[in-house]
Amino acid sequence: MIDTNKTTAAIVARCQELFDDLEFGSAREWKEAGPNRRVVAYMPIYVPRELIHAAGMLPLGILGGGENLEVIHGDAYYQSYICRIPRSTLELGVTGRLDFVDGFLFPSICDVIRNLSGIWKLLFPKVYVRYFDVPQNFDDEIGGRYYVQELTELREGLERLGGVRVTDEALRASTALYNENRRLIRELYAVRAEAPWLAPTSEVYLLLRAGMVLPVEEHSQLLRDYLAAVRAAPRPRRDNCRVVLNGVFCEQPPLNLIKAIEMSGCYVVDDDFTLVNRWLLDDVPLAGDPLRNLASAFLHRSAETSAKYQPDEAKKGKFLVDSVRSNGAEGVIFAAPSFCDPALLDRPMLESALDRVDVPHIGFKYAENSAQMQPVREQAGTFADSIKLWSAP
Amino acid sequence: MTVKIPTPSAPPSPHEAVKEASMLKQKEMIARNYELLTGTAENGRKVVSTFVPGNLNELVMCFDMLNNLPEINAIQNGMKKLSGGYIEEAEKRGHSEDVCTYVKADLGMMAKGNLAPNGKPLPRPDLLLLSYTGCFTFMKWFELLREQYKCPTVMLHVPYQGDGHATQNMRDYIVKQLKDEVIPALERASGVKFDIDRLREYLRESARAEDDLVRVLESAKRKPSPIDAYFGGVFYIGPIFTAFRGTPDATEYYRLLRAEVDERVRRGLGPVTPEGDMKSQRYRLVVEGPPNWTSFREFWKMFYDEGAVVVASSYTKVGGLYDRGFRHDPDHPLESLADYCLGVYTNHNLPQRVALLEQYMREYEADGLLINSIKSCNSFSAGQLMIMREIEKRTGKPGAFIETDLVDPRYFSAANVKNRLESYFQMIDQKRQTATAA
Amino acid sequence: MNCYIGIDLGSTTTKSVVMDDGGQVLGRGITNSRSNYDTAAAVSKQEALIDARFTLLRRGLEGAPSLKGKVDAFLGDLERHFRHVQFLEQLDDLEQTARRNGRGLRFAGQEQALGEALGEVFRRLREESEALFAPGARRRSDFFRDIAGSRFMALAEPLCKEAGLSFDLMLNVYDKSIIEVENRPPSGAMQGKFLRALELALGAGGGAGDAVAHPVRAALEIPLEEAYVVGTGYGRVRLPFPKEHIRSEILCHGLGAHIMYDGTRTVLDIGGQDTKAIQVDKEGIVENFQMNDRCAAGTGRYLGYVADEMKMGLHELGPLAMKATKTLRINSTCTVFAGAELRDRLALGDKREDILAGLHRAIILRAMSIISRSGGIRDQFTFTGGVAKNEAAVRELRKLVKENYGDVTININPDSIYTGALGGAAFARRAVQA
């Protein structure tokens, strides 16, 4: 007997609904469901959500306004040569769509998001706003010591915001929940890499996005249901090539762009969507000091991305090359938001790393509200065809 | 048939009409530094490449190393109209048209022989000292340079003043990086052992020059202002923001400059412009944002032709807010370097920047805030429209917004900029007339 | 009498306004901006002075008992004849110029045939002009180039064929000549033309004789002294005016909008080159302004680009967009990308009107951002510029203003194209009277 609420279609429909909801109804409901509940928003790429959860609060991932938000007031704060995510995020703010948000964390990703933290402070003085700086030095005694103190300050800030104590015990429990969530996502990625026709990226993406707005417990259940449903319902395999998608870690491409890539003959077997879900590469140990454990995981076992310094020149691009190899990809599609400094400055170095090991790649730019998909279809389609030609016996 | 080849113009100076002693001194210092840099094969000096904001010049000098600053090279190339070609070269090599043109001008210059303004090739650095202060792009820039040079690189990560102040944790983090990573890297690259007393001596020298610089910058509070704190200001900050801070040369430069400015004050003169002394001062402006370098002269002329003098600017604070009291401190050498790095303008958060500009508006009795928004520089530019709004709201003085670029000539539209400036000046006039009529 | 003149040199058209001592608008004139701004300024100024003269005529005739209730008809008649006389004069100039240009080495052996053909074309143009300026006739434009040009082509083509002449050659001569004629400063003698028109009007059955001729002559006698001229607009820096005679278009637009509607606090102007949002105080003094940044998104040019892409006339876009049953979301405010998005949409089978509705919304959204940047909309809100004539754009603007700023009085003046020139004229008046 198949539970109709737990088919892939039903799960994906639920995720799509959450994705489309620019009023953040589910987060509002969560907040209203209990007294003194607090919601703490965050932007890409990484914040330690364990801390927010341990304070009894809901972490809410804000990834811009997507393709359907008309931006009027947000545009008033930005010149035309700046990417779109800060404008649409501000539009969400000034139009009251985020009026239930009590705190907002702006991670260290680029100067635009960094400065957005200051704009938020000026525009929304009642919100607990913190620029969340992470170390670019990966020595335990240097960057590690600094980071533990930054985490401590964040913990204290949240405690003040909620009028609560964030105990080590609570933090360990939250870490365990997020460990589990990350495990499930790793499993989802492994399923997709092995049989991408079973879990299309347009669906995987929506599942990841659901994790931005749902409580972690609920999201983990959704992941379990989806994995079970996928295994229960076989889907036809197509003659697609296998690619890694890179550069989509901040401003999001429109869902249609993801679909266009898939429809033009590419299976995405790895990507850098919503890195916060997979930033820490394996379980954070529960024994010992929870902040030290988080710091150590960050320093030594976290994903590589343009916003993070690579101290060792020889390792530049290795993370991407390893992903290509371990996921059996045949090429890389670089997709970067227009005016995205981290992605666009990084790209030539990543391209060189791929060239050295003969991995083909293409690249293009998008905005979260790009509507013309024909160039994407053409480029991705041509790329897929050429990969098939090269790999033909 | 003969083809006339235009001779490249010398770096423009604001004092071409009247060459003052300080200007000659600075020219000579810069020329000598480039001679040293391009003569390392003969003089055997080691070279460190590093950035302007929060640079560690005194520390670098402790290791007898020369300081090569890629932004300064890009500015030189911008003023000599070479940057356009370099940027196109970098774009041909796969760099996006969207990203910072300082980076592209630097990479393009490397691709085309890496020639210094004296026409000789710049040396490969012995160390890339990535002082990651106030600008995310620096990090990528040095990763890109490292890929080219394959030379040792050391990172100094300076946290951002996200909450509007530096914390002890930030200071400790920087000092620890200096002790455990930066100084050892400099020792390895130079073969010279670190001597903290030598550092103290240089810092003491820095502080002397810093006093005089502040005196010069604050002279703009007078009416008429004896200086232009933006177009002239960028020359005044030259030595102290770059490879000369901590040298007796810099101290001497600022002593000369201060004497000259004092003399202008005594004689009631306005700033020196490329066309001589500025006569009337009809508008006093605070300017936010870096200048455009490719059309620097033309840009400046749009101001002094209209009688607009800049009395304070944020760009002249990218190498430190000396006017707000910071001094290098020989008694706490490494801590003082940490505070220096933390305190540069671009490492301040937006509310701090607004507060500073607001203070400038009041202290310097400005008629308005002009923002020159630079396409390349998100660190400066993202949020400037918010800054303008806040300043207008807090001071009741009008703001104006123009858009150019640092060194990309494609992003300087003279007609556009002039149109907006004219409209702005006329608006100030009109407001004044109604204010006096009322 | 003293005249205060404002000239607004826009990128596509140049406008002039003549104002009297009391601040009343006497006349308006418009012409297409040419490569030569001096001439465009001179022509539009002359047109405004002609219009001013008609105003004076009206004032003079309103007292004439024999014309009671017929002033409009008479003035219409007079203007029609005046325009005709003016047209014939320009036609003569064009013919002489064309004949001159039709000589020389390039035309060796064909000179005579060309001369004959030109003679015939112009004879027919003159002949046709009777109908063109007949009572009730509609002309699609009042610009000489537009009227003469299209008919010239239509007449010359068959004639060239008959004469065995190359039509391209003829076009070449025309193109060269029309530019010369257009860029020649206009001849100053208006008086003669008015008198000639008066003769024609009276002869053609105006029927009132001296009772009319007298006040007309009296009105023609009033000297129009150019007390002060102020230039504004995109091309103002190219005018040979001393600096104190030049005002920025921002200031002029602000003041012009204030004069049209004195409750104006926020002005939006969407022109061919740029989009401006201006905040003015209760005296029309500019308090703040914002213009589109380097990017042309949200300016009239965006619509021009769309029209080209759809192979439509600019004025056809609005009416088609009004037929839309839904407004598609067009996300590219970027002028360059709009074309690609448009083609993509058409390829997907979307209807042209729905796409156009989306494009109009996109341009207005962009303008809304510029307004927001300048400080938002305060009551009253005045919308000016070429795009203010586009009904689809106006519809979207009304919707978005209501959504974002609630109930605000929105003023759109049919003469809004003269806003900048009006402000200029007011500045000219202040310069003398202040």
The full 3-state SS of C213-237, as one line of letters, equals: HHHHHHHHHCCCEEEEEEEECCCHH
* CA–CA min distance A78, chain C (Å): 9
Contacts of A79 in chain C (CB under 8 A): 293
| DSSP state letter for B377 | -
Please check whether residues B91 and B208 belong to one and the same domain. no
B423 at C interface, C-beta within 8 A? yes
Contacts of B411 in chain C (CB under 8 A): 294
Per residue, what are the HEC states of chain C?
CEEEEEEEECCCEEEEEEECCCCCEEEEEEEECCCCHHHHHHHHHHHHHHHHHHHHHHHHHCCCHHHCCCHHHHHHHHHHHHHHHHHHHHHHHHHHHHHHHCCCHHHCCCHHHHHHHHHHHHHHHHHHHHHHCCCCCCCCCCCHHHHHHHHHHHHHHHHHHHHCCCHHHHHHHHHHHHHHHHHCCCCCCCHHHHHHHHHHHHHHHHCCCHHHHHHHHHHHHCCCEEEEEEEECCCHHHCCCCHHHECCHHHHHHHHHHHHCCCCCEEEEECCCCEEEEEECCCCCEEEEEECCCCCCCCHHHHHHHHHHCCCCHHHHHHHHHCCCCCCCCCCCCHHHHHHHHHHHHHCCCCHHHHHHHHHHHHHHHHHHHHHHHCCCCCCEEEECHHHHCHHHHHHHHHHHHHHHCCCCEECCCCHHHHHHHHHHHHHHHHHHC
Side-chain half-sphere exposure of C407, counting CA atoms within 13 A: 0
Please check whether residues B208 and B321 belong to one and the same domain. yes
Greatest C-alpha distance within chain B: 72
- CATH label of the domain that carries residue B228: 3.40.50.11900
Note whether C14 and C32 are within 8 A (CB).
yes
Contacts of B403 in chain C (CB under 8 A): 293-294
Domain extent, residue B337, equals 199-437
Task: Work out the number of other CB atoms within 10 angstroms of the CB of residue A378.
Answer: 12
Please check whether residues B120 and B239 belong to one and the same domain. no
Residue C340 belongs to some domain of the structure: yes
Side-chain half-sphere exposure of B224, counting CA atoms within 13 A: 22
Q: What is d(CA C392, CA C320) in angstroms, rounded to the nearest whole number?
A: 9
Cβ distance B386 to A340 less than 8 Å, yes or no, reads no
Note whether B430 and C286 are within 8 A (CB).
yes
Contacts of A307 in chain B (CB under 8 A): 136
| DSSP state letter for A311 | S
Residue B285 sits at φ, ψ, to 5 deg, of -120, 150
Cβ distance C289 to B427 less than 8 Å, yes or no, reads yes
Task: Kindly give the residue spans of alpha helices, DSSP state H, lying in chain A.
Answer: 8-20, 25-32, 49-54, 85-94, 111-123, 145-162, 168-194, 201-213, 216-232, 255-263, 290-300, 318-326, 341-356, 374-391
C288 at B interface, C-beta within 8 A? yes
Contacts of A70 in chain C (CB under 8 A): 329, 365
Task: Using CB atoms, pick whichever of A73, A74, A371 lies closest to residue C331.
Answer: A371
Residue B6 belongs to some domain of the structure: no
Per residue, what are the HEC states of C89-108?
HHHHHHHHHHHHHCCCHHHC
Cβ distance A71 to C369 less than 8 Å, yes or no, reads yes
Q: Write out residues in chain A with pLDDT < 70, as ranges.
A: 1-4, 392-393
Question: A345 vs A48, B68, B141, CA distance in Å?
Answer: 26, 22, 8
- CATH label of the domain that carries residue B150: 3.40.50.11890
Here the tokens at position B105 are 């001008």
Please check whether residues B78 and B91 belong to one and the same domain. yes
B280 at C interface, C-beta within 8 A? no
Identify from A45, A71, A79 which residue to disrupt to test chain B contact, counting B C-beta atoms within 10 A and taking the largest count.
Answer: A79
Cβ distance C373 to A75 less than 8 Å, yes or no, reads yes
Bridge partners, A199 (sequence order): none
Note whether B207 and B326 are within 8 A (CB).
no
User: Is A4-169 a domain of CATH 3.40.50.11890?
Assistant: yes
Note whether B126 and B152 are within 8 A (CB).
yes
Residues with Cβ within 8 Å of A387's Cβ and at least 6 positions away in sequence, in order, are: A241, A330, A331, A360
Q: What is d(CA B372, CA B387) in angstroms, rounded to the nearest whole number?
A: 12
Please check whether residues B120 and B225 belong to one and the same domain. no
C238 at B interface, C-beta within 8 A? no
Q: State the pLDDT at residue C105.
A: 65
Q: What is d(CA B339, CA C400) in angstroms, rounded to the nearest whole number?
A: 49
| DSSP state letter for A264 | T
Residue C251 belongs to some domain of the structure: no
Residue C239 belongs to some domain of the structure: no
Contacts of A20 in chain C (CB under 8 A): none
Residue C333 belongs to some domain of the structure: yes
Cβ distance B416 to C288 less than 8 Å, yes or no, reads no
Nearest Cα residue to B315 out of B270, B357, B376, B268 = B357
- CATH label of the domain that carries residue C392: 3.30.420.40
Nearest CA in chain C to A67: C331
Please check whether residues B238 and B321 belong to one and the same domain. yes
Please check whether residues B283 and B425 belong to one and the same domain. yes
Residue C296 belongs to some domain of the structure: yes
Please check whether residues B186 and B307 belong to one and the same domain. no
Task: Using CB atoms, pick whichever of C294, C347, C365 lies closest to residue A72.
Answer: C365
User: For B289, left (φ over 0), alpha (ψ -120 to 50), or beta?
Assistant: left
Q: What is d(CA C232, CA C254) in angstroms, rounded to the nearest whole number?
A: 12
Task: Work out the number of other CB atoms within 10 angstroms of the CB of residue B62.
Answer: 26
* CA–CA min distance B403, chain A (Å): 9
Note whether A179 and A283 are within 8 A (CB).
yes
Q: State the pLDDT at residue C56.
A: 92
Residue C370 belongs to some domain of the structure: yes
Greatest C-alpha distance within chain C: 73
Q: Write out residues in chain B with pLDDT < 50, as ranges.
A: 1-17
At residue C291's C-alpha, the angle toward residues C331 and A120, to 5°, is: 70
Contacts of B427 in chain C (CB under 8 A): 248, 250-251, 286, 289
Residue B234, SS3 per DSSP: helix
Number of domains in chain C: 1
Q: What is d(CA A128, CA C398) in angstroms, rounded to the nearest whole number?
A: 37
Here the tokens at position A145 are 């010591």
User: For A93, left (φ over 0), alpha (ψ -120 to 50), or beta?
Assistant: alpha
Whether residue C279 has a cis bond before it, omega within 30° of 0: no
Q: What is d(CA B228, CA B272) in angstroms, rounded to the nearest whole number?
A: 8
Residues with Cβ within 8 Å of B120's Cβ and at least 6 positions away in sequence, in order, are: B34, B38, B39
Report which residue type is found at C282: K
Task: Using CB atoms, pick whichever of A71, A367, A372 lies closest to residue C340.
Answer: A372
Q: What is d(CA B317, CA A179) in angstroms, rounded to the nearest whole number?
A: 45
Residue C352: exposed, middle, or buried by beta-carbon count in 10 A (0-12, 13-18, 19+)? middle
Which domain-ending residue is among B145, B177, B195? B195
End-to-end CA distance of chain A: 45
Residue range C83-100, pLDDT digits in tens: 899 889 889 999 999 988
Instruction: Please state the separation of Cα B272 from the chain's center in Å.
Output: 19
Note whether C328 and C350 are within 8 A (CB).
yes
Contacts of B430 in chain C (CB under 8 A): 251, 285-286
Bridge partners, A333 (sequence order): A245, A362
* CA–CA min distance C217, chain B (Å): 42
Strand order in the sheet with C275-280: C286-291, C275-280, C266-270, C381-384, C410-411
Please check whether residues B135 and B179 belong to one and the same domain. yes
Nearest Cα residue to B47 out of B80, B30, B70, B24 = B70
Nearest Cα residue to B330 out of B240, B205, B243, B210 = B205
Residue where the block lists tokens 């938001």: A337
Identify from A42, A45, A75, A115 which residue to disrupt to test chain B contact, counting B C-beta atoms within 10 A and taking the largest count.
Answer: A115
Residue range A51-77, pLDDT digits in tens: 999 999 999 999 999 999 999 999 899
Domain extent, residue C343, equals 262-412
- Per-domain residue ranges of chain A: 4-169
* CA–CA min distance C6, chain B (Å): 17
End-to-end CA distance of chain B: 68
Report which residue type is found at A222: L
Q: What is d(CA B100, CA B114) in angstroms, rounded to the nearest whole number?
A: 19
Nearest Cα residue to B361 out of B325, B326, B382, B387 = B387
Here the tokens at position C113 are 């045939």
Q: Write out residues in chain C with pLDDT < 50, as ranges.
A: 206
Residue A126: exposed, middle, or buried by beta-carbon count in 10 A (0-12, 13-18, 19+)? exposed
Note whether A247 and A367 are within 8 A (CB).
no
Please check whether residues B136 and B81 belong to one and the same domain. yes
Please check whether residues B183 and B204 belong to one and the same domain. no
| DSSP state letter for A302 | B
Q: At what angle do helices C210-221 and C191-201 cross, to 10 degrees?
A: 170
* CA–CA min distance C97, chain A (Å): 48
Chains that touch B (3 or more CB pairs under 8 A): A, C
Interface confidence, given as ipTM, is 0.95
C52 at B interface, C-beta within 8 A? no
Contacts of A349 in chain B (CB under 8 A): 143-144, 147
Number of domains in chain B: 2
Cβ distance A72 to C400 less than 8 Å, yes or no, reads yes
Nearest CA in chain C to A375: C340
Task: Work out the number of other CB atoms within 10 angstroms of the CB of residue C239.
Answer: 19
Report which residue type is found at B388: M
B88 at C interface, C-beta within 8 A? no
A263 at C interface, C-beta within 8 A? no
Q: State the pLDDT at residue C296.
A: 67
The sign one gets for the Cα dihedral B169, B175, B178, B181 is negative
Note whether B322 and B213 are within 8 A (CB).
yes
Residue B211, SS3 per DSSP: helix
What residues of chain A, 63 to 82, have a C-beta less than 8 Å from chain C? 67-68, 70-77, 79-81
Task: Using CB atoms, pick whichever of C237, C247, C291 lies closest to residue B420.
Answer: C291
